[in-house]
Amino acid sequence: MDRPAAQVPPTIAEVARAAGVAKATAGRVLGGYGSPSPELQARVRAAAEALGYRPNMLARSMSTGVTKTIGVVVADISNPFFAGLVRGIADAGRAAGYDTVLVNTDERVDRERAAVEVLVGKQVDGLIIASAAGAPAPAPHLRAAISRGTPVVGVDRDLPDLDADVFVIDNREITRHAVDHLIDAGHRRIAYAWGPPHPGQVRSREELLGAAGADLSTGAARLRGYVDALDAAGIDLDPRLVTTGVETVEGTEEALRVMLGSARPPSAVFATETDALLGALRALQAAGLRCPEDVSLVGFDDSPWTAVVEPPITVVQQPVQQLGEAAARRLIQRIDGFDAAAERTVLSARLVSRSSVRGPRTQPA
């Protein structure tokens, strides 16, 4: 079967002839530079529309050095947090005339490194990244991007030792506030999911905080907020109440099932991620326990379903979309030549109190 001949796209010269203007004039109108009169602009754009002309973005970027694209690198777009974050970035970028190119890393530094190299190679005008590199892991791929003149803005996670703007949430403060909420309700044995990844059971406070020091900055800050709340209330930290296994729904469920079946089970759970919250709910269901009658629950991230399950779940609500918008606006400022010193900007989260917390059934001994 013969294929139809490919249609040759119209050229600027053909648009110029159709509009009755010089090729250079048509190029200025369609390229968005220079100052042709409104009447000439209207004629050229009408001719381009009639012919079906589309600009060659690759050729334009090669001549101007500008692609009007932002590269975004995140862990998992299926996570509601990152979905909202990217929505904020894309909306702010679109308002300023920028398209967004998105890459997932699944929290793998090797994939992050490859993504950054590809995006920089494609000449994106700047990068926004939620880096998978935990502290104090080096990030030579980000340093290389900055040295090549590509502005980089970190979001959700800190970028240690890099001269880059960062936009984060007040993770330590809001976690302390959330755990205080459980303590004020009378709880003293409060499980924490997810803690820092660790090969085996953590035995001491020092070991736990040491593991947190190598974790992502968000995880480390939330764990420290948990410890702050316990310390302020005079509650001894029990490392056995902090999950340190696989950070999945199934891993959280298994770790909490063990805790809930122990001689001194927790009376409350603080879950630091949406998947950790799902794992906690599964663990309660598997153990035949009710929330909040048997175990109180506070989660992180205000996913829509947390307000409609029974009981509605008390959660930390992060300004996710605003975080993305702020990061994008700063990146565009950097692209436009803003050269003030890099800043770390902290946005405030808030605790949304619902019906998943009440006092423990029995006071712990």
Residues recorded for the chain? 365
Confirm whether 359 is domain-assigned: no
Read off the pLDDT band of 65 (50, 70, 90): low
**pTM of the model as a whole:** 0.83
Which residues are within 8 A (CB) of 89 and not within 5 positions of it... i.e. 6 or more apart?
A: 70, 72, 100, 128, 155, 324, 325, 327, 328
Read off the pLDDT band of 136 (50, 70, 90): low
- Residue 265: which CATH number? 3.40.50.2300
pLDDT digits (tens, 9 = 90+) for 308-336: 999 999 999 999 999 999 999 999 999 99
HSE (side-chain half, CA atoms, 13 Å) at 312: 10
Which domain, by its residues, includes 101?
A: 66-168+320-347
Are residue 139 and residue 254 in the same domain, yes or no? no
Which residue shows structure tokens 């994939």? 111
Confirm whether 245 is domain-assigned: yes
Confirm whether 1 is domain-assigned: no
pLDDT digits (tens, 9 = 90+) for 257-289: 999 999 999 999 999 999 999 999 999 999 999
pLDDT at residue 4, as a whole number: 45
Read off the pLDDT band of 357 (50, 70, 90): very high
Are residue 190 and residue 294 in the same domain, yes or no? yes
Assign 161 to helix, strand or coil. coil
Query: What is the rounded CA–CA span in Å between residue 306 and residue 132?
Result: 27
Are residue 236 and residue 145 in the same domain, yes or no? no
Confirm whether 361 is domain-assigned: no
Q: Which of 65-79, 143-157, 158-172 has the lowest mean pLDDT?
A: 65-79
Query: What is the rounded CA–CA span in Å between residue 97 and residue 207?
Result: 49
Which residue shows structure tokens 């410890």? 227
Report how many domains make up the chain.
3
pLDDT at 147 over 80: yes
Q: What mean pLDDT comes out for the span 43-72?
A: 76
pLDDT at residue 243, as a whole number: 95
Q: What mean pLDDT comes out for the span 21-50?
A: 84
Q: What mean pLDDT comes out for the span 14-36?
A: 83
